[in-house]
Structure 1
Amino acid sequence: MPHRETSKRRRPSLSMPILRTSRAQHKAGNLTLGTLLAGLGERSFGWAIVVFSLLTLLPLPPGSSLVTALPVLFTTAQMMVGFPHVRLPGPVARVKIDQQKLRRTLLGLRPVTRRLENTLRPRLVAIFAPRHEPLLGLALFIIAFALFLPIPGSGWFPAISLFVVGVGLVERDGVVTVLGLAFGAFSVFLTVAILMSLANGAEAMIG
């Protein structure tokens, strides 16, 4: 038991690869979405979803999700149609990242990442089989579309669910991935409920 507890404590932080890579690229003056993903290496879909969901959580003006959610939609669409890895178009790859804002966002997510770090391990790996990727991509695309809609008060939920699913993809943890998808389904339901409420309110005002 003591050995297991020690190994858990020594598990690398989920945020460390992103922080280390972004810091090095920031110092070199070439921190962009493309270079950050390239620096993170394999399992590009998982890392892309993690990075792009973090981008939507940055402190930005209202309505920014119309822009920041586009890379998530682009990535999940590629996964849905069966691309073997993420292919960023030039303009998206060249988007610059504010390293300090990224760092603050990662630190703000520590309550979530600490819990994930204590549980992550390869489980239910069958759901990551190539034949399941289109269905998984479709589910993530729907969640990303909920994130894309500039609805006040709803954006955090799909962004966090995408972050959790992305971590599950990187670590090949099917249980965490399923939990992230379940939270994503809740976020989609919440978005639909808010839309219906806004539509009913507008109809009442017009009537």
Structure 2
Amino acid sequence: MHREDGSRRRPSLSLPILRTSRNQHRNGKLTLGNLLTELGETSFGWAIVVFSLLTLLPLPPGSSLITALPLLVTTGQIILGFPHVRLPGPLARLKLDPVKLRRTVLRLRPVTRRLERVLTPRYTLLFARRNERFLGVLLFVIAFALFLPVPFSGWFPAVSLFIFGVGLVERDGLVSMIGLAFGGASVLLTLTIMMSLARGAEAMMH
């Protein structure tokens, strides 16, 4: 959706998440499963957006071992050809902190504002069914890099998955490809840090 005569602006990407989480919190129903269902009928696009936000919440170091699990489950289901996301019961019932979720969404406003300016349906062949499993493998690798408790690297794969998910929701193949490229760079960064840590540990042992 583009601006028309300067009077119409594209709806904010943050608004559905903020509005839905606020309403569910008021009703005492703010769980991961409820939020996802109301946002997008358990579509993979919204699932990747929401789950990548979870990994960016202000949590103790090493929390990505837990927060990245929904992304591993989701991307694994894409590889297996599931028609929609099926969250295991414990993940679906996971309660969310509305204040932390709001803060995280607002922290990403510099990213979402830029995306809002350029998003439009294009290169939709990227999302064709024949490409789904291949995309699932790429996304699983990025999610696994996020899952690893590697210092200073978690933010990058999380943001790349967020960008891909937004592109999928809006059927913008170009934005999703940018997310994948950023994700590939984040995987390389994670590998580089791991190799540096391994060399450092080896040097200390000798």
Please give the range of the TM-score, normalised by the shorter of the 2 chains.
over 0.9
Is the CA contact (8 Å cut-off) linking 2:119 and 2:170 kept in structure 1?
yes
Is the CA contact (8 Å cut-off) linking 1:76 and 1:138 kept in structure 2?
yes
* Deviation of 1:81 (Å): 1.1
Q: Between 30-39 and 42-51, report the one with greater CA deviation.
A: 42-51
The match for 1:179 is 178
Letter paired with 1:99: P
The match for 1:15 is 14
- In structure 1, how many angstroms separate the alpha carbons of the residues matched to 2:92 and 2:201? 39
Taking a change above 3 Å as real, the CA distance of residues 84 and 200 of structure 1, as seen in their structure-2 partners, is same
Q: TM-score, normalized by length of structure 2?
A: 0.97
What aligned pairs does 1:65-144 form with structure 2 within 5 A after superposition?
Answer: 65-144=64-143
The match for 1:152 is 151
Taking a change above 3 Å as real, the CA distance of residues 92 and 206 of structure 1, as seen in their structure-2 partners, is same
* Deviation of 1:27 (Å): 0.2
CA RMSD of aligned residues (A): 1.3
Taking a change above 3 Å as real, the CA distance of residues 2 and 68 of structure 1, as seen in their structure-2 partners, is closer
Is the CA contact (8 Å cut-off) linking 2:33 and 2:92 kept in structure 1?
yes
Structure 1 segments unaligned to the other structure (5+ residues): none
Is the CA contact (8 Å cut-off) linking 1:81 and 1:134 kept in structure 2?
yes
Question: Cα deviations across residues 27-51 of structure 1 (Å, max 9, x unaligned)?
Answer: 0001000000110124610100000
Q: TM-score, normalized by length of structure 1?
A: 0.96
The match for 2:63 is 64
Q: Number of aligned pairs?
A: 205
Structure 2 segments unaligned to the other structure (5+ residues): none
The match for 2:163 is 164
What aligned pairs does 1:45-64 form with structure 2 within 5 A after superposition?
Answer: 45-64=44-63
Tell me, what secondary structure is at the counterpart of 1:191?
A: helix
Is the CA contact (8 Å cut-off) linking 1:34 and 1:93 kept in structure 2?
yes
Moved runs in structure 1, 4+ residues, more than 4 A? none
Is the CA contact (8 Å cut-off) linking 1:25 and 1:31 kept in structure 2?
yes
Is the CA contact (8 Å cut-off) linking 1:43 and 1:170 kept in structure 2?
no
Is the CA contact (8 Å cut-off) linking 1:33 and 1:93 kept in structure 2?
yes
Question: Cα deviations across residues 141-170 of structure 1 (Å, max 9, x unaligned)?
Answer: 000000000111000000000000000110
* Deviation of 1:2 (Å): 8.0
The answer to which structure has the higher helix fraction is 1
The match for 1:24 is 23
Question: Cα deviations across residues 97-130 of structure 1 (Å, max 9, x unaligned)?
Answer: 0011100111111000000000001010001011
